[in-house]
Amino acid sequence: MKPVVAAAVQATPVFLDRDATVEKVADLTATAATEGAGLIVFPEAFVPTYPDWVWRVPAWSDAGYYRELADQAVDVPSAATRRMGEAARSARAWLAVGVNERDPSGGTLYNTLLYFAPDGSLAGRHRKLMPTGGERTVWGQGDGSSLTVLDTPFGRLGGLICWENYMPLARAALYARGMDVHLAPTWDTSDCWLSTLRHVAREGRTFVVGTNSYLRGCDVPSTLPDRDAIYGGEEDSMSHGGAAIVGPDGTVLAGPLLHAEGILYAEIDAVAARVARREFDPAGHYARPDVFALTVDTTARTSARFVTRGPACDGEDPGDRRTAS
């Protein structure tokens, strides 16, 4: 394994404009690459924006905002994912971007972290397992099939979104897969979030890259319904950031970055993380599998299973030949 420079991008999305935000992703990816970054990480639900209004208006009263969010959400695959893949390929870097993903049926959105490899391919995706509070009015729940850990030249890469990082069993599942670098894009701007990043790093003996958006009321277009009643101006802080990069002993390597857009950089050496697990390995010698056990269901869940009965061979029950999708 080779060390890599990680870039934690803290930026302002173009509010509810998918294509413009994707272009911002491409531009900032190029900027990070010029600084030598081989791993570039964007915030939670960055494309086309985090739906902050779910914390400001009564449930189900946000039709005008949700309509725009659904229209500007990201299909996988699509022109938007191809453009982000091109950005990763041009940068020759691993790229992780938080998006609002639109289910192919068009009826459900997911809070998703997309991973792109340096060749531009979509290498993985993780759907947030449990939306928090008001988020449940806009996002569905992911399943265990997207608890993604990827092999890269700089170690095993995984991540959880926002308050998933408070789910002990979700963290344990990733630790059990040998994760070396943990991504933690979030919307949480509380004072204790940095402590969360440091705890996860020290518990898992992993590097942690935390990112967040920088977003204010003045970033919301005036054309949206009741905009002035819901949002203020520059003084109305939706997210003041908090991006940080933490080492496997809990040491803060970069950040936190507050009240501004910017990119943080730090070198990540997975060998250091693995050596640190000699002292404490939560999925190895410190796990005590004789006392504790964790079962992770990685089955992809769908609401329907379609079965087609095929033609029968001589002497065969027609019900024995089936294909499923």
- Catalytic residue numbers? 44, 128, 162
Please state, in angstroms and rounded to a whole number, the distance separating the CA atoms of residues 71 and 24: 19
The structure tokens listed for 224 are 């949206």
269-284: string of b/e by CB count within 10 Å (b at 16+)?
A: bbebbbebbeeebbbe
Alpha helices (runs of H) in the chain, residue ranges in sequence order: 18-34, 63-72, 79-91, 168-176, 193-204, 227-230, 270-276
248-261: string of b/e by CB count within 10 Å (b at 16+)?
A: bebebbbbbbeeee
Please state, in angstroms and rounded to a whole number, the distance separating the CA atoms of residues 77 and 50: 20
Helix, strand or coil, per DSSP, at residue 182: strand
Residues 6 or more apart whose CB falls under 8 angstroms from that of 67 comprise none
In DSSP terms, 32 is beta-bridged to none
- Whether cis (ω within 30° of 0) applies to the bond prior to 77 is yes
Residues 6 or more apart whose CB falls under 8 angstroms from that of 58 comprise none
Strands 4-10 and 37-41 turn out to be parallel
DSSP state of 313: P
In DSSP terms, 184 is beta-bridged to 210
